[in-house]
Amino acid sequence: MTTGIVVFAHGSRLEPANEAVRAVARQLAAAGGFTAVETAFLELGEPDLEGAVKTLVAQGFGDILVVPYFLTLGIHLERDLPRIINDLAGKFDNVRIRAAAPLDGHPALVDVLLERIQATLDS
């Protein structure tokens, strides 16, 4: 069984910010060779997580991995995401829905910050 991926972000009133998340999801799909990568937003963007899961289930995916696109581990990842996943698990029989670890604490974040700093200092 192939896994469907959902890039899960907060969402913004500014549609270009939401579109930037969708662009990252497209890049992730291409870079990882994933057959299905959807985006979902907690609020202020479409679709929500349930909508993205429905799309993947309709395509025949029975294993769904939610990848949080949040920089810090806050209340949305500690409380909201587990609650939403638990609620969705009750709505979709025979579908495994789980979440990847958050970005918070990943050592590559320091490298990204260093690259941004160096690029700015060099300009």
pTM recorded for the entire structure: 0.91
Number of domain units in the chain: 1
Question: Per-residue pLDDT for 46 more than 80?
Answer: yes
Q: Give the structural domain span for 23.
A: 3-122
Residue-level pLDDT at 111: 93
Q: In this predicted model, what pLDDT tens digit does every residue of 22-43 receive, in sequence order?
A: 999 999 999 999 999 999 999 9
Tokens of 20: 């930037």
Q: Find the CATH number of the domain harbouring 88.
A: 3.40.50.1400
Distance linking the first and last C-alpha atoms of the chain: 48
Residue-level pLDDT at 11: 94
Q: Which of 41, 94, 48, 92 is nearest to 70 (CA)?
A: 41
CB hemisphere CA count around 106 (13 angstroms): 16
The rounded distance, in Å, linking the Cα atoms of 99 and 85 is 8
